[in-house]
Amino acid sequence: MSINQKKLPIYSFFKCVEKNFDKASQFLDYDKGILKQIKICNAVYQIFFPIKWDNEIKVIEAYRVQHSQHKLPCKGGIRFSPTVNQDEVIALAALMTYKCAIVNIPFGGSKGGIKIDPRIPDEFKEKLIRRYTSELIKKNFIGAGIDVPAPDYGTGEQEMSWILDTFISLNPGDINALACVTGKPISQGGVRGRKEATGLGVFYGIREICNLKKEMNNLGLEVGLEGKRVIIQGLGNVGYHTAKFLYESGAIIIALAEREGAIYNPKGFNIEEVMNHLKENKSILNFVGAKNIKNTLEALEIECDILIPAALENVINSENAQRIKAKIIAEAANGPLTIEADEILNKKGTLIIPDIYLNAGGVTVSYFEWLKNISHVRHGRMERRFNEIKNFKIFQSIEKISGKKISEYEKNILLHSPDEIDLVYSGLEDTMRNSFYELLYIKKYKNIENLRIAAFALAIQKIYNSYQILGIFP
């Protein structure tokens, strides 16, 4: 570590978010009062409650934070992590506000956290999440039009269905109860494609940037994903799906890092084989043909084209930033770079694709799930058969006019009318593409130095406009 780096101040996570906000505000000639209102956190609910744990009573610390209520409901995940604290949840809720704005999702930003190791047995998880939900209900902090939780670090479909069940039982007759939480199993009102949504969105975002000739030339890289050397930190839901889609597109996953250590193989990993190994051995280490790296964070410093932190915040900081050799950093996690690391890496010329754009696929598909729940109908249900019949009539006419037969293979493609999963993928891809071009546009038009500040500026612009129209409630 150089002396200069040591001198850098250490900011809290929320302070980092605020600093980025301030940098971006300088590009926008906006009313200071409204900017302040956008930046501050609207509401923090801190909860302590007791849980019977074997023969002792444990006091659990938990939070739900609504950073912005400029659009309702507020939206954001709930995490289980031993490091949960108020500053972290506020910062994550703020990132949700900006994320939703960037991808044009009409929600405010929120986040929840329960301070606990996610590896606790299911029976305690269930007790915890049900109690937490009832605390949120008591204070009117959850509901289809109020605040809608979703999965985050350490939580998934199972926890979401416990939330739903608790909510329904305490809100009898609420016709929109299903929309009180997203990321549910399909059988409980979930939407197809939600599980892989964040990873798929990360993939779409990386693909967009890798298709830009000028950017790739500047980094000395070829256009496209094929052959790009990738390192992924975190093999949870987001990391795994990101790795899967990149692998299927010809990228080479050269290193994978988990809590217990990392594995490295310059020839690349087949991600499904690694996942099977992980399931069997409860560890990614000792994977055949790979080199073990005991200190997992060292894997981030290996030379590669794309480094994808996909776990928790602050993993790249003033201590290790200088040693990062990746040409592109794709932020699948929320806040993986501290502000100091961001500055060091920008100086080095690293291309950073910011979290508030790149990992917005999760909340985008949560929005599709919420729409499905409040409309009480599966996406595509009304028009699917109609389209199939119309397509059938079109190719009957083509065959009649041309006097030629269309092959069975082509007929099957033409006949196909979108299912829910097709619509979700299409909506997600469209969202990630549109927002990417909006980002590039504001970056160029306002002459902003990097994508993160451009992303904040885009978010502020959109939220500001909604305040302009709404006015401020007196």
Catalytic residue IDs: 111
Nearer to ligand GLU, 68 or 182 (CB): 182
Nearer to ligand GLU, 362 or 380 (CB): 362
What is d(CA 153, CA 210) in angstroms, rounded to the nearest whole number?
27
Q: In angstroms, what is the minimal distance from the CB of 341 to ligand GLU?
A: 20
Name the one range near ligand GLU by CB under 6 A: 70-78, 200-208, 336-344, 398-406: 70-78
- Collect all residues with Cβ–Cβ distance below 8 Å to 14 and sequence separation of at least 6: 41, 87, 88, 90, 91, 94
CB-based contact 87:13 (threshold 8 Å): yes
Name the one range near ligand GLU by CB under 6 A: 10-18, 45-53, 63-71, 358-366: 358-366
Which of 152, 340, 342, 438: binder of ligand GLU (CB under 6 A)?
152
Nearer to ligand GLU, 33 or 145 (CB): 145
Question: What's the token pair of residue 183?
Answer: 């990321």
| 362 touches ligand GLU by CB under 6 A | yes
Q: In angstroms, what is the minimal distance from the CB of 322 to ligand GLU?
A: 28
Q: How many CA atoms lie within 13 A of 193 on its CB side?
A: 24
| 261 touches ligand GLU by CB under 6 A | no
Q: Which residue has the tokens 């108020």?
A: 86
| 236 touches ligand GLU by CB under 6 A | no
| 182 touches ligand GLU by CB under 6 A | yes
| 75 touches ligand GLU by CB under 6 A | yes
Which of 296, 318, 359, 373: binder of ligand GLU (CB under 6 A)?
359
Q: How far is CA 311 from CA 321, 326, 334, 337, in A?
A: 17, 17, 8, 11
What is d(CA 318, CA 307) in angstroms, rounded to the nearest whole number?
17
| 68 touches ligand GLU by CB under 6 A | no
Site string for ligand GLU, 5-44 (x = CB under 6 A): ----------------------------------------
Binding to ligand GLU in span 298-337, by CB under 6 A: 334
Instruction: Report strand pairing: 43-53 vs 56-68.
Output: antiparallel
CB-based contact 198:330 (threshold 8 Å): no
What is d(CA 173, CA 176) in angstroms, rounded to the nearest whole number?
9
- Identify the DSSP state of 295: S
Q: Which residue is nearest to ligand GLU (CB)?
A: 77
Q: In angstroms, what is the minimal distance from the CB of 27 to ligand GLU?
A: 25
- Collect all residues with Cβ–Cβ distance below 8 Å to 257 and sequence separation of at least 6: 231, 232, 233, 234, 293, 296, 297, 299, 300
Question: What's the token pair of residue 178?
Answer: 């299903």
Instruction: Report strand pairing: 306-309 vs 328-330.
Output: parallel
Nearer to ligand GLU, 35 or 128 (CB): 128
* Residues lying near ligand GLU in the complex (CB under 6 A): 75-77, 150, 152, 182, 334, 359, 362-363, 366
